[in-house]
Amino acid sequence: HARRLEGIDKNIWVEFTQLAADYKAVNLGQGFPDFSPPSFIQEAFCNALTGGFRMHQYTRAFGHPNLVKILAKFFSRIVGREIDPMEDILVSVGAYQALFCTFQALVDEGDEVIIVEPFFDCYQPMVMMAGGMPVYVPLKPREGRGPALTSADWVLSPEELASKFTSRTKAIVINTPNNPLGKVYQWEELQVIADLCIKHDVICISDEVYEWLTYDGAKHVKIASLPGMWERTVTIGSAGKTFSATGWKVGWAIGSGHIMKHLKTVHQNSVYHCATAAQEAISVGFQREYDVFGTEDSYFHQLPITLHEKRKRLADCLKSVGLKPILPQGGYFMIADISNINVDLNDPTTKEEPYDYRFVKWLIKEKGLATIPVSAFYSPEHRDQFQKYIRFCFVKEDSTLQAAENILKQWS
């Protein structure tokens, strides 16, 4: 095999999704809704499929025209500047491929890319496949303030962050709301990052796939909207997360045309474009959301309200069984400290693995509940320090959350 694949053959989603299926576990692991997308978007997909031959054939390489037009219109209003549908947007096969195109297009052999831990796991292999060197900087629980209770208590040290920027730094990757922690970066925190990007002429890759999902008044801020940042930011989004349709695999990257043209080069020479009918349906969904934006009819308004309830329910349940959840400000995951739980992990097949991996495997195999080990969201260098958390996904039917609750209450 090619050298670029060295050390990246393991994948937590492949491993733990299979394990959850093998044991028919109640699944609070992989992040996907176990309910249907809103009916307006399902109808849009059906209409696209029955609307004539065009929806079954190729469309524009960099994004179906109807979709890039409405994405530009929608996000121009949010970013506060005119976004050009043809120049500034690339539609991709999920946020995954938008990220892949970004790293391939911008990172050269030997370039350093700063990644904030904990991070969505694919950033590391993607940087490495581009020949880059990941450099890690951790979010840490604030010191001297008692135990961290919410994701807002986890912060970057501005000094530590600054120390990671060198003459070789090409880009920094941030994720807000963050997976797995649920941190939503405040404006002031983004300003610190922006100042460093501008000072060192570094690109910011901002993964915002959970942008609509914030709770308790936390506000999602786009770093691209800060002064001087539009020109150096690639913002990543996902229709799968936006409309609860992760299997449709439609995502996008938005940024200044002078950067986006390089992402397009990767895209046109690899996948060319993603499914036309799915793009058409998402365009109809965004047009609808544009028309009802800020009203109670908006799905972007309704979904976080639904999830707010589920988040509380899961947090209460975890606390009642002696786990210590960190309440997320955004996204649909919650991490919890498992160090209070005493279990006998005597499975010899997992002996060499980190504690959280062993715990999660035990929970799947012995108790029928699937979650994800949080050390998977850390670099090999720092993994050892973060083996006491597991991640729960709460974008699930109440009946699924109830089933999980029943399992947790039985053994603890």
List of residues contacting ligand GLN (CB under 6 A): 13, 30-31, 179
Nearest to 88 by CA among 233, 211, 245: 233
Q: Determine the interface stretch with ligand PMP among 18-26, 93-101, 108-116, 215-223 (rule: CB under 6 A).
A: 93-101
Tally of CA atoms within 13 A in the half-sphere of 288 that contains its CB = 20
Tell me which residue of 82, 122, 394, 69 sits closest to 236, measured CA to CA: 122
- Which one of ligand GLN, ligand PMP, none interacts with residue 30, CB within 5 to 8 A by kind? ligand GLN
Taking the complex as a whole, how short is the minimal distance between the CB of residue 233 and ligand PMP, in angstroms?
A: 16
Q: Whats the size of the chain, residue-wise?
A: 412
Least distance (Å) from ligand PMP to the CB of residue 359? 22
Q: Which residue is nearest to ligand PMP (CB)?
A: 94
**Residues numbered 23-62 forming contacts with ligand PMP, rule: CB under 6 A:** 31
How far, rounded to the nearest angstrom, does the alpha carbon of residue 311 sit from its chain's CA centroid?
17
Query: Residue 13 binds which entry of ligand GLN, ligand PMP, none, with Cβ cut-offs from 5 to 8 Å by kind?
Result: ligand GLN
Whether the CB-CB separation of 104 and 81 falls below 8 Å is answered with no
For ligand PMP, which is the closer residue by CB, 209 or 335? 209
DSSP 57-100: S---TTS-HHHHHHHHHHHHHHHTSPPPTTTSEEEESHHHHHHH
Q: Which of ligand GLN, ligand PMP, none binds 208 (CB below 5-8 Å, type-dependent)? A: none
Work out how close the CB of 25 gets to ligand GLN at its nearest, in angstroms, rounded to a whole number.
15
DSSP 218: -
Q: How far apart are CA 270 and CA 263, in angstroms?
A: 11
| Side chain identity at residue 242, one-letter code | T
Minimal distance in Å, beta carbon 23 to ligand GLN? 17
The dihedral sign for the CA sequence 18, 19, 22, 28: negative
Q: How far is CA 136 from the centre of its chain?
A: 17
Q: Which residue is nearest to ligand GLN (CB)?
A: 31
CA-based nearest residue to 80, from 229, 300, 193 = 229
Cα angle 157-112-331, degrees, rounded to a multiple of 5: 55
Nearer to ligand PMP, 179 or 214 (CB): 179
Tell me whether residue 128 or residue 370 sits nearer to ligand GLN (CB atom): 370
Q: Under a CB-based contact definition with an 8 Å cutoff, are residues 334 and 318 in contact? A: yes
In sequence order, what are the residues at sequence separation of 6 or more whose Cβ sits closer than 8 angstroms to the Cβ of residue 306? none
Identify which range of 91-99, 261-269, 335-343, 362-370 contacts ligand PMP by CB under 6 A: 91-99
CB of 12 to ligand GLN, least distance (A): 8
**Site for ligand PMP contains 95 (CB under 6 A):** yes
- Per-residue contact string for residues 229-268; x = within reach of ligand PMP by CB under 6 A: ---------x-xx----x----x-----------------
Closest CA to 398 of 299, 317, 302: 317
Rg (CA), the chain: 21
Q: Which of residues 105-134 bind ligand PMP (CB under 6 A)?
A: 120
Q: Which does 254 bind (CB under 5 to 8 A by kind): ligand PMP, ligand GLN, none?
A: none
DSSP states of 125-156 as a string? HHHHHTT-EEEEEE-EEPTTSSS--BGGGEE-
Closer to ligand GLN by Cβ: residue 59 or 244: 244
- From ligand GLN, ligand PMP, none, interface partner of 123 (C-beta below 5 to 8 A by class): none
Contact segment (CB under 6 A) with ligand PMP among 66-74, 88-96, 106-114, 252-260 equals 88-96
Q: Measuring CA to CA, which residue among 331, 106, 128 is closest to residue 211?
A: 331
Q: Which of residues 282-311 bind ligand PMP (CB under 6 A)?
A: none
- Window 136 to 195, contacts with ligand PMP (CB under 6 A): 175, 179
Structure tokens at 239: 């229709």
| Residue 354 contact, options ligand GLN, ligand PMP, none, Cβ 5-8 Å cut-off depending on partner type | none
In the list ligand PMP, ligand GLN, none, the entry touching 94 (Cβ below 5 to 8 angstroms by class) is ligand PMP
Nearer to ligand PMP, 38 or 251 (CB): 251
Q: Which residues bind ligand PMP (CB under 6 A)?
A: 31, 94-96, 120, 175, 179, 207, 209, 238, 240-241, 246, 251
